[in-house]
Amino acid sequence: MRTTAWIASLALLAGAPGAAHAHLVNSGLGPFYNGTLHLLLSPSDCLAVLAVGLLAGQGGKASARAAAITLPLAWGGAVLAGLTLERAAEPGWLEVALLILLGVSVAAGVRLPAWVLAPVAVLIGIVHGLETAGALVDSDGALVAVAGIATAVAVLTLLTGALAVSLQAAWTRVALQVGGSWIAAVEMLMLGWILQGIS
Amino acid sequence: MKSASRPLVLWLACALLLIGLGPAPALAHESQPGLLELRQLTAGSSEQTWEVLWRAPIYYGQPHPARLQLPAAWQPVAEPTLQRLLSSELHRQLVRIGPETLDGSSIGFPGLEQTITDVFVRVTRLDGTESSQLVRPTKPQATLRGERPWSQSAVEYLALGFHHILLGIDHLLFVLGLLVIVRGVRALVQTITAFTVAHSITLALATLGYASIPAPPLNAAIALSILFLGPEIVRVWRGQTSFTIRHPWVVAFGFGLLHGFGFASGLSTVGMPRAEIPLALLMFNVGVELGQLAFVGLILLLHRALRVLEFRWPRWAELGPAYLIGTLGAYWTLQRTVMML
C-alpha cells in the first residue's frame, strides 16, 4: 500500500512539468543556469535521463560512453530544431511508452550493446528535446539555455552510467533493477492517466 | 588529477565559456548588486519626507534594464535627478508619504527578472533604526517590513555568496586550473584550503573597509592568474615540473588574496546596518565556500565517472583545456588592461 502511494506520488511529479514549466525556469543566474535548472526541476526529464543512464550502464562501459555522447547531443539538437520549427511537442503517450520500455528493460537486466543503445538514446533525446523546446519559445538567451540543458543531460547521463557500471555486488545490481521497475511503474500510472484523459 | 580526467576539463571549460559568452566584454562587473537606499528626512504627524537613492549598476556597458517602481501613494516632491558614475547610475528622488504607511509598501523593479543582478534594499529611519533586505531577479519586488529575524538575512547573504561564485567564471576557471595541476588528495586539500583562507582574508579586509584595490587593475590581475595557470597545465601534461606544480598551495594562496578582493565586489556594505556587517560577511563567505565546494565536488565526480567509463581522447583534445584556459586568461588580461587605459 505504501509502495503504491509512493509510485502515485512520483507519477504526479512526473506529470507535473508539462504544466508547471510551460516557460523556462528563472534561476536569477542567467540563461545557462536557467536551462540547467529547468531540466533538474522537470521530474519526467530527470527520469528519462536516469533510465537511459541506468540501461546504458547495465550494458557496459561502451554503452554508457555511447549514451553520454548521443543523449545530450540529440536532446540539445531537438530543442534547437523545436525552436527553429516553432513547434513543440506535447508530452504524450509516446514519451511515456518509451520510458516504460526503458524501465522494464532495466528491471529485466537487459544488456544492450552500444550500437543498439545509441539509437535508443537518440530517440529519447529527440522526444524530450522537442517537448523542452516549448519552454524556451520567447525566452531570452535561448541558445545559451540549450547549452545549459545539454550540459545537464550530459553530466547526469555520465554520472548515472558510471554508477551503474561500477555496481559489482549482486545486491547492488538487484537495487539497480528495482530502480528500473519503479521507473516503469511510475510511467505505467502516467500512461493510464493519459489514456483516461486526466493528465 | 590524473591523465584520464584531463579531457573532462575541456568539456567543463567549454560549458563555463558558454556561461560567460554573454558577459565577455566586462565580465567581472555584471554580477555587481544594485542598491536602493531609503532615508527618512522628516517625520511629521501628517506626512514624512524620504530620500530615495537608486544605484543601478552598468549592465554590459549599458544602463541597467531594471526600473524603480515606487508605490503610487508616494508623492514625488521634486523632479528626480540622475548622476552617471563610472560603474553605475545614481537616481535620486524625494518623496512624501503618509505616516506609518512605509511598512507593508511594495517596491517593484520591472526588468530585473531579465538580469542576473541582485538588489540590496536598505531603510534608515530618523529614530536610528535600520533594516535591509535582498531582492533577487526571481522575485523582483521588495515588501518593506521593518526589522526582520537575523536568520532571514543570514539565508539571503548565504544565497548571495553561493550565486556570486556560480557567476564568477574567472574564479571557477582558476579553481579548475588548480584542480588539473594538483596531484593527490593531500595536495588537493592543501590547495583548496589555501585558496579559501586567502580569499577569506581579503574579502574580510575589503568588506570591513581596511583595504581596497580599484576594480580595473584588480580584474586584470585576476585574469592574469588564469593566464598564469595555462602554461603550468601544459607542463603537467609534458611530465615537467615547476615551483607551482610542486607547491600549488603557495600559488593558490597568493592569487587567492586577489580573488578575495574580487568576491568583495558582490557584497555591498554601503548603507548596511553596522550590526549586520559581521553576519553578512560570514554568511556571504560561507555561501562562496559552499559554491566552490559544490564545483570541486562536481569536477571530482565527473573525473571519477570518466575514469570508470574509460573515455579515450585524441592528443589534441587532451591538450585543449590548457590552451583554452591560457587563451581565455590572455584574452581577459589584454581586454581588462585595455579597459584601464
Q: H or E element: which one contains B111?
A: none
User: Quick one: B101 and B126 in the same domain?
Assistant: yes
pLDDT tens digit string along B75-125?
Answer: 888 888 888 887 788 899 999 988 777 788 889 999 888 888 888 888 888
Residues B201, B257: contact at Cβ < 8 Å?
Answer: yes
Judgement on whether residues B211 and B118 belong to the same structural domain of the protein: no
Average pLDDT over residues B191-207: 92
Q: Inter-chain contact B138–A68, Cβ cutoff 8 Å?
A: no
CB atoms A158 and B304 under 8 Å: no
Q: Are residues B97 and B17 both part of a single domain?
A: no
Q: What is the pLDDT of residue B24?
A: 44
| Residues of A at the B interface, defined by Cβ within 8 angstroms | 26-33, 61, 64-65, 68, 140-141, 144, 147-148, 151, 154-155, 158-159, 161-163, 165-166
Structure confidence at residue A7 (pLDDT): 54
Q: What is the pLDDT of residues B214-267, one digit of tens each?
A: 888 888 899 999 999 888 888 888 888 899 999 999 999 999 999 998 888 777
Q: Whose CA is closest to B261, among B311, B206, B217, B306? A: B206
Are B95 and B179 in the same domain? no
Residue B154 within any structural domain of the chain: no
Kindly state the average pLDDT of the residues A173-183.
91
Q: Is the same domain home to B318 and B220?
A: yes
Number of domains in chain B: 2
Distance in angstroms (rounded) separating the CA atoms of residues B15 and A32: 9
Nearest to B222 by CA among B65, B74, B335: B335
Q: CA-CA distance, B251 to B268, in Å (whole number)?
A: 28
Q: Identify each DSSP E strand in chain B by its residue range.
A: 34-43, 48-57, 75-76, 81-84, 88-97, 106-108, 119-124, 130-135, 141-143
Residues B278, B183 share a domain? yes
Reported for B68-72, long-range contacts at CB under 8 A and 24+ positions apart, including other chains, are B68/B36, B68/B107, B68/B108, B68/B109, B69/B107, B69/B108, B69/B109, B69/B110, B70/B95, B70/B107, B71/B97, B71/B105, B71/B106, B71/B107
For testing contact with chain B, the best of A33, A158, A163 (most B CBs within 10 A): A158
Averaged pLDDT, A82-109: 82
pLDDT of residue B31: 65
Average pLDDT over every residue of B194-204: 92
Q: Do A29 and B166 touch (CB under 8 A)?
A: yes
My answer on whether B250 and B334 are in the same domain is yes
pLDDT value for B313:
75
Option in A33, A64, A148 nearest B309 (CB): A64
Is the confidence at residue A1, as pLDDT, over 50? no
pLDDT of residue A59: 92
**Interval A83-112 mean pLDDT:** 83
Measured distance CA(B249)–CA(B269) in Å, rounded: 30
DSSP assignment of A73-114 = HHHHHHHHHHHHHT--PPP-HHHHHHHHHHHHHHHTT----H
Q: What is the mean pLDDT of residues A112-121?
A: 94
Domain residue limits at B135: 34-149
**Nearest C-alpha of chain A: how many angstroms from B200?**
23
Distance to chain A for B137, nearest Cα, Å? 5
What local confidence, expressed as pLDDT, does residue B23 receive? Answer: 47
**Smallest CA–CA distance from A69 into chain B, residue:** B311
Are B298 and A155 within 8 A, CB to CB?
yes
* Same domain as B75, residue B197: no
Closest CA to A42 of A62, A24, A67: A24
| Structural domain includes residue B163 | no
Taking an 8 Å Cβ-Cβ cutoff, which residues of chain B contact chain A? 11, 15, 18-19, 21-22, 113-114, 116, 118, 136-138, 163, 166-167, 298, 301-302, 304-306, 308-311
Candidate from A61, A140, A144 with C-beta closest to B18: A144
Nearest CA distance, B337 vs chain A (angstrom): 26
Alpha carbon of B172: minimum distance to chain A alpha carbons (Å): 15
Domain identity same for B19 and B122: no
What pLDDT, in 10s, does the model give residues B13-50?
Answer: 555 555 544 444 444 545 678 889 898 888 877 788 89
Residue in B with minimal Cα distance to A155: B302
The beta-carbon neighbor of B308 closest among A26, A147, A162 is A162
Q: How many CB atoms lie within 10 A of CB B243?
A: 10
Residue B306: inside a domain = yes
- Pair (B71, B111) in one structural domain: yes
Beta bridge partners of B48: B43, B97
With a cut of 90, say whether residue A50 has pLDDT above it: yes
Chain B residues with CB inside 8 Å of A142's CB? Answer: none
Q: Express as a percent the part of chain B with pLDDT over 70.
A: 89
What residue type is assigned to position B247 of the chain? H
- Cβ–Cβ below 8 Å for A159 and B138: no
Cell numbers 570591513 label which residue? B208
> Does position A102 have pLDDT exceeding 80, yes or no?
yes
Distance in Å, alpha carbon of A159 to nearest chain B alpha carbon: 6
More confident site: A88 or A160: A160
**Do A26 and B301 make contact, defined as CB atoms within 8 angstroms?**
no
Q: Using the 8-state DSSP alphabet, how is residue B155 labeled? A: H
Same domain, B203 and B279: yes
Distance of alpha carbon B176 from alpha carbon B320, whole angstroms: 14
In three-state secondary structure terms, B38 is strand
Q: Are residues B44 and B181 in the same domain?
A: no
Q: How far is B164 from chain A (nearest CA, A)?
A: 9
The Cα–Cα gap between B202 and B257 comes to 6
| Confidence at residue A117, expressed as pLDDT on a 0 to 100 scale | 94
